[in-house]
A and B are shown apart, each in its own frame.
Chain A
């Protein structure tokens, strides 16, 4: 097995918890965070369900102790909270003691502000400070500034696989010696833009989503942020750090089939999973748990099921999608599910796939529907995005 890159800290905020501890508790209590939307006024509010973080912007601003003049979008607020928790969790005292980078990911960016003030910007000066907050790199720059990170700061956007790609780049930069330490993850808040966008694609469910169920009708959108701290072996040794887990495998492949739909036999997904196993120097039967992308759309779950069968054949591990808890948090999905994968490793448990009743008739796969205690050494996590972007991470237990 390829040892991989050490993870020494994590931070997360989602609809099932404002901290790492709260998220974990909700997972084991089977308490989802799916409800009708409260903070956005949309005509769809009675026909969609979402995974909304249960704190308004004013409270997030207060929590971060930001001045009134701040121009943080909701994405930036969520991101900074999670990033700070990760840095604290990793017990970092001096961020500049080692060459440290920040790689974040988002698809919404500051769109929550842009859509609110789109026309009123022209009428009054009041909110013009948010014009610069629109760009996808803005939240990342703000976090870098708050944390004092100066060495390498960038942002990735590949739709729903964004954070997975950010984590992958971070691991590669540690491996190549370009960085000693890197904070990686992603964030997305709910917005009218994405709600309506997904509505036009007719893939939003009116009820709680049912990943991998024959009668699934679509996804629930969600918002969240999560970050991991990755550190090189020499930093871990020098600082005598506790390693939470290792990133042992990663891969990014493109389906090159259609802009939004996945190919029927899940070509891109298959390539990504196989390559990640290759990098980790593991075989399919080494994987104990798959945290699937499992958005509960007819297309993804069918395509992903077929891809999983192609890769794992007779060695099907336990698997589940945790999107029944949090909804599909778009660019943040890869990061929050990385956190859940690491929690699975640390606690030797598989988290349940909620709302499942009937397996997909074509593939007959049955996910775990209860918290399952079992020895877990390796977890594979998938995130697939529009544009054919298929990314996979493999997390392995520290030894």
Chain B
């Protein structure tokens, strides 16, 4: 699980072009959207594609993303439960 969390942080930094952020800067429980890391709805769509491409999980309703992408912890939990 720890490896997955690290991997997710790396992917977020890369896919979303967060140039100034390091893996160590993102806490496992940090709020990713809104006031936390400051991600928005376009980033959510990017993460949905990442879920499909890298983990084989397809989300058909973008609104599902809200709870899944709350933090690294929630993302890692969802992926390990649903990964294909």
User: Which of B42, B48, B62 is A260 in contact with, Cβ under 8 Å?
Assistant: B42
Q: Which residue of A lies closest to B62 (CB)?
A: A202
Whether the Cβ atoms of A261 and B41 lie closer than 8 Å is yes
B45 to A202, Cβ gap below 8 A?
yes
> What's the minimum C-beta distance from B50 to chain A, rounded to whole angstroms?
12
- Looking at the complex, which one of A202, A259, A261 makes contact with B48 (CB distance below 8 Å)? A202
Task: Give the chain A neighbours of B31 by CB distance below 8 A.
Answer: none
B49 adjacent to chain A (CB < 8 Å):
yes
Closest beta carbon of chain A to B37's beta carbon, Å = 17
B14 sits at the interface (CB 8 A): no
Q: Fill in one digit per residue for B25-52: 1 if any A CB lies within 8 Å of its CB, else 0.
A: 0000000000000001110010011000
> Among residues 1 to 43 in chain B, which have CB atoms less than 8 Å away from a CB atom of chain A?
40-42
Main secondary structure of the interface of A (DSSP, over half): loop
CB atoms of A259 and B42 under 8 A apart: yes
> Are A258 and B41 closer than 8 Å at their CB atoms?
yes
Q: Which 3 A-B pairs have the closest CB atoms?
A: A202-B62, A261-B41, A200-B45
CA distance A201 to B41 in the complex (A): 9
Contacts of A261 in B (CB 8 A): 41
Q: How far is the CA of A259 from the CA of B49 in the complex (A)?
A: 19
Interface residues of A (CB under 8 A from B): 200-202, 258-261
State the Cβ distance, A38 to closest chain B Cβ, in Å: 25
Complex: A259 Cα to B40 Cα, angstroms:
11
Report chain A residues within 8 Å CB of B40: 258
State in angstroms the CA–CA spacing of A263 and B41 once bound together. 13
Chain A residues with Cβ below 8 Å from B49 are 200
- Complex Cα gap A200–B46 (Å): 9
Q: Cα distance A260–B41 when bound, in Å?
A: 9
Separation of A118 and B62 alpha carbons in the complex (Å): 31
A373 to B46, CA, bound (A): 47
Q: Which B residue's beta carbon lies closest to that of A200?
A: B45
Please, how many angstroms separate the alpha-carbon atoms of A82 and B5 in the complex? 56
CA distance A201 to B45 in the complex (A): 7
CA A258 – CA B49 in complex, angstroms? 21
Closest to A202 in B: B62
- The residue in chain A whose Cβ has the minimal distance to the Cβ of B41 is A261
A-B contact pairs, 12 of them (CB 8 A): A200-B45, A200-B49, A201-B45, A202-B45, A202-B48, A202-B62, A258-B40, A258-B41, A259-B42, A260-B41, A260-B42, A261-B41
A218 to chain B, nearest CB (A): 10
B59 nearest CB across to chain A (Å): 9
**How far in angstroms is the closest Cβ of chain B from A224?**
27
Q: For A259, give the chain B residue with the smallest CB separation.
A: B42
Known contacts A200-B45, A201-B45, A258-B40; 6 further A-B pairs (Cβ under 8 A): A202-B45, A258-B41, A259-B42, A260-B41, A260-B42, A261-B41
CA distance A369 to B81 in the complex (A): 45
Residues of chain A with a CB closer than 8 A to B62's CB: 202
